[in-house]
Amino acid sequence: MPASPTATPEHIKDVNARYHDAAADEYDAKWGIDFGATGQEQVRLKLVKALGGLGGRSFGDGLEIGSGTGYFSLNLLQLGVIERLTATDISAGMLSRLSATAEALGLEASTVATEAEQLPFEDESFDIVFGHAVLHHIPDLDRAFAEFRRVLRPGGAIAFCGEPSRHGDRLAAVPKRAAAIAAPAWRGLVRARRRAVAESERSNGHALEGEVDVHAFAAADLRRLLRDAGFEDRRVGGEELLANAWGWGLRTVESTAEPDSVPCGWRRFAFRSYIALQKVDTRLFEPRLPAELFYNLLTSGRKPA
């Protein structure tokens, strides 16, 4: 359920900060976030799709918007696609997880708690501004895109991936419903215990989940944002069809069980099957079907030199 149309921008940002602070500790496990070779390859592929190729290019100063626990930026840093990272997020809790992971991986990452619509950086400070699954949380996207352009150096790139498409958002409701019905049988099959939802979790921000999303996009919405902010070489593409439906089904059944009672064998199967379906989407569907049919949209542009 998206945020109420009458919710003020301040309320939406406050809810986002509180919800993501509360979600930070379980975030990587919930979304299967990986900082090894698999995660790096996933992120590299997404950026390649968004930019229409990388061609061995690397970016000096990278700014991530809504970096969360670092799925995108720490993997890009490990790959050498960005040389220096400034990770920003409205949630200090997410950034502190990112810092801990960066330290464990031996990476240097500067973190700044800030909202996307008002960035505390000098003009022309970065070579790439990027993000994953964040634009749909930002109330005033025109303002945010103007900020992205301001802090980019001339010729710099903007790239955002993992944004929900309007059509995909509706499609995701089907596997979620089917998985909710199948969940008791699934728990019996894998011998997982039913999750008791603690009241502490609700008061902690988890109950805010339905209020954090503000937008689902048509490809044309993203093209307009890029154009109005003055970006050139504008691109919008789509990714993940089967993988996403399967992924929502997996997450829905798993969310009904106590995490420590879900067997490792199941987790391995779930992860591998998701990656296999991603490959089918990439090879078979993405080159042939229109962007709006997919669950995720990717977009990129370039600030004029």
Does 137 interact with ligand SAM (rule: CB under 6 A)? yes
- Which lies closer to ligand SAM via its Cβ, residue 212 or residue 257? 212
Residue among 138, 219, 236, 270 that touches ligand SAM (CB under 6 A): 138
Indicate the residue among 27 and 186 with the shorter CB distance to ligand SAM. Answer: 27
Stretches 37-45, 85-93, 218-226, 293-301: which one binds ligand SAM (CB under 6 A)? 85-93
From 3, 15, 20, 129, residue interacting with ligand SAM (rule: CB under 6 A): 20
Q: In the complex, what is the shortest distance from the CB of residue 164 to ligand SAM, in angstroms, rounded to a whole number?
A: 10
End-to-end CA distance of the chain: 41
Q: Minimal distance in Å, beta carbon 42 to ligand SAM? A: 11
* Contact residue for ligand SAM among 94, 216, 229, 245 (CB under 6 A): 94
Minimum distance between the CB of residue 69 and ligand SAM, rounded to whole angstroms?
Answer: 6
* Residue indicated by tokens 């989407």: 281
Asked whether position 168 contacts ligand SAM by CB under 6 A, the answer is no
Cα–Cα distance measured from residue 131 to residue 72, given in angstroms and rounded to the nearest whole number = 7
Q: Binding ligand SAM by CB under 6 A: which of 13, 97, 302, 303?
A: 13
For residues 34 to 73, the per-residue mask of contacts with ligand SAM, x marking binding by CB under 6 A and - elsewhere, is -------------------------------xxxx--xx-
Among 50, 61, 101, 115, binds ligand SAM (CB under 6 A): 115
Nearer to ligand SAM, 97 or 235 (CB): 97
- The C-alpha atoms of residue 128 and residue 58 are separated, in whole angstroms, by 10
Interface contacts to ligand SAM, rule CB under 6 A: 13, 16, 20, 65-68, 71-72, 89-91, 94, 115-116, 131-134, 137-138
